[in-house]
Amino acid sequence: MNAHRKQLVSLARPVYFSLLATVAAGIINTVWVSRLGGPAVAAVAVATNTENVLLGVSLVFASGTTVLVAHARGARDPGAVRAAVRGGWALCALVTPVVAVGGLLLREPLARLVLGGGDGSAVPLAVAYFAISLPGIAVFFAQNLVDGILKGAGDTKTPMRLALLANGLILVCDPFLIHLYGVRGAAASTVLCRCVALGAGLAALRRNALLRTALGVPPAEPVGAALRRTLRTGLPMSADFTVRQGGALVLVAIVARLGVTAVAAYSIAYKVMYIATMAFYSVRQAASIHTAHTRGAGRDAGRAIGRQAVLVSGTVGLGAAVLLFCTAPWIMAAFGAGPEVAHAGVLFLRCIGPYLLLMAGFIALGGVFEGSGGAPVLLRVTVLGTAVQLPLAYGLSGLGLPGVCLALALAMAVQCAVVAVLFARTRRQEEVEVSLVRVA
């Protein structure tokens, strides 16, 4: 196996399983909450979606720190490692109080905003959930930063174990706390179990050989400069995630024009697709870490890493497309979908293959851009893709869900074409620079 491919698979596999554990825990948590009634499910669902949006905020310091630590590790510069870690914690300490305190003070208007014109009985339940979950966002942010530091240090297995620990404890605690305290119990269970995982993560940081070595040397730059570097590195990644999340929400609204049946089918199918798309994002993280590490070591391996990342992710995408096409009827039946919803869902899953294959390549190659400092360029491509996708989806929605699939595929094809051109152009520029250095 190609050395870069082997490294990508080694880094990506634990990331994938940690993402799967989180999704599985969320589904089972919803099953327990559903026993409290529809308003409780709605309250917890919107609160969870709010947390998904806040995940984008945490990427500013978590992903930024990952790239900077990986680069410093490749350069064998413990002072830069220490500076990157200090910059991540400083930015986290700056952002967290604003989100946690601000969210707590605004929990009632926030609940009304995210619930829109829904069932009024769900609002106080969402407020009760937010009263615990928003202060607890401090734990969530710190946990994401710990994961980011460990990933930058080349350790993706420990974050996986921490995710399994947290989500395993949630599955055990949820039934009891939800039974005793309702939706407050669901929020408390999540925060308390994350506290345990955070404690284990902090202990893992102290045991990490690279980070222990870094503690013994002066940081390469002051905290303020390290904070700004982390912000510059992580902000485009955070914005990229936010744009994608926003585009996904607007897409749901476009699908809603087709009726309740289409929305139900789309929602089920999209949840199933997470199994594949999480693999793409796992490869993206692996490519980002590996690229930053090799660049720090003075090796220009971006082209080779990008090629292997696309190969790995594309293989998964192709397999997923074929599997979804063949098993679509059984998938919809497993979710208990009625005949109309099942028919629409099967049609969507059988049309989504080209989009999945294109998405696999684009997402994976994005990791090379992030690891090499090209995240701002990638953000512009994402904005372009979203600007193309939404009008296309609106215009082609007259064809039903197959029209939405076509719009997704066409928009992703545009993004793939642009990023491929940029990737080739970057390579040519680097080759010219190398040639000039040799001539000199």
- Crossing angle of helices 38-74 and 122-133, rounded to 10°: 30
User: Domain for residue 57, yes or no?
Assistant: yes
Is the confidence at residue 346, as pLDDT, over 80? yes
Q: How far apart are CA 23 and CA 275, in angstroms?
A: 9
Q: Are 129 and 184 in contact (CB under 8 A)?
A: yes
pLDDT, residue 340, reads 84
Ramachandran class of 222: left when φ > 0, alpha when ψ lies in -120 to 50, beta otherwise: beta
Q: Other C-beta atoms within 10 Å of 119: how many?
A: 13
Give 191-244 pLDDT, tens digit per residue.
999 999 999 999 999 999 999 999 889 999 999 999 999 999 999 988 988 888
Asked whether residue 245 is assigned to any structural domain, the reply reads no
- Examine residue 246 and state whether it is found in any structural domain, yes or no: no
- pLDDT tens column, 35-51: 777 677 777 776 776 77
| Whether residues 228 and 308 fall in one domain | no
- Residues spanned by the domain of 59: 1-234
Do 340 and 392 sit in the same domain of this protein?
yes
Q: What is the pTM of this model?
A: 0.86
Q: In terms of residues, how long is the chain? A: 440
The whole-number pLDDT of residue 116 equals: 61
Average pLDDT, the chain: 86
Q: What is the pLDDT of residue 118?
A: 52
Q: Do the domain assignments include residue 218?
A: yes
Q: Kindly state whether residues 370 and 316 are assigned to the same domain.
A: yes
Confidence at residue 437, expressed as pLDDT on a 0 to 100 scale:
33
Domain annotation covers residue 102: yes
Structure tokens at 103: 């969210």
For 394-433, the pLDDT digits (tens) are 999 888 889 999 999 999 999 999 988 888 776 555 443 3
The secondary element (H helix, E strand) that includes residue 236 is: helix 223-256
The domain total for the chain is 2
Alpha helices in 106-182 (DSSP H): 107-115, 122-133, 137-152, 157-181
pLDDT exceeds cutoff 60 at 277? yes
Same domain as 312, residue 227: no
Under the banding of pLDDT at 50, 70 and 90, the label for residue 101 is very high
Which of these ranges, 28-32, 231-235, 362-366, has the smallest mean pLDDT? Answer: 28-32
For residue 439, pLDDT beyond 50: no
Residues 152 and 229 in one domain: yes
Q: Is residue 195 part of a domain?
A: yes
User: pLDDT tens, 294-323?
Assistant: 888 888 777 888 889 999 999 999 999 999
pLDDT tens sequence across 140-182: 999 999 999 999 999 999 999 999 999 889 888 988 998 888 8
| Residue pLDDT, tens place only, 326-342 | 998 998 887 776 788 88
DSSP assignment of 383-437: HHHHHHHHHHHHHHGGG-HHHHHHHHHHHHHHHHHHHHHHHHHHHHHHHHHHHHH
Instruction: Judge if 178 and 300 occupy the same domain.
Output: no
Spell 181-200 as b/e; 16+ CB within 10 A means b. ebbbbbbbbbbbbbbebbeb
Residue 436 in this model has a pLDDT that exceeds 60: no
Q: Kindly provide the b/e burial profile for residues 239-270, where b requires at least 16 CB atoms within 10 angstroms of the residue's own CB.
A: bbbbbeeebeeebeebbeebeebbbbbbebbb
Is residue 250 domain-resident? no
What's the CA gap between 291 and 372, in Å, rounded?
Answer: 6
Q: 84 and 69 in contact (C-beta within 8 Å)?
A: yes
Q: Out of 88-92, 213-217, 262-266, 360-364, which region has the weakest mean confidence (pLDDT)?
A: 262-266
Same domain, 403 and 342: yes
The CA dihedral of 323, 326, 330, 333, to the nearest 10 degrees, is: 100
State which of 234, 266, 294 marks the end of a domain. Answer: 234
Domain stops at, among 234, 268, 296: 234
Asked if the model's pLDDT at residue 273 lies above 50, the reply is: yes
pLDDT at 337: 66
pLDDT(282) > 50: yes
What's the pLDDT score for residue 383?
A: 92
pLDDT single digits (tens) 110-141 = 777 766 655 567 788 888 888 998 999 999 99
Domain assignment present for residue 239? The answer is: no
pLDDT of residue 18: 85
Q: Are 325 and 187 in the same domain?
A: no
Looking at the structure, do residues 314 and 167 belong to the same domain, yes or no? Answer: no
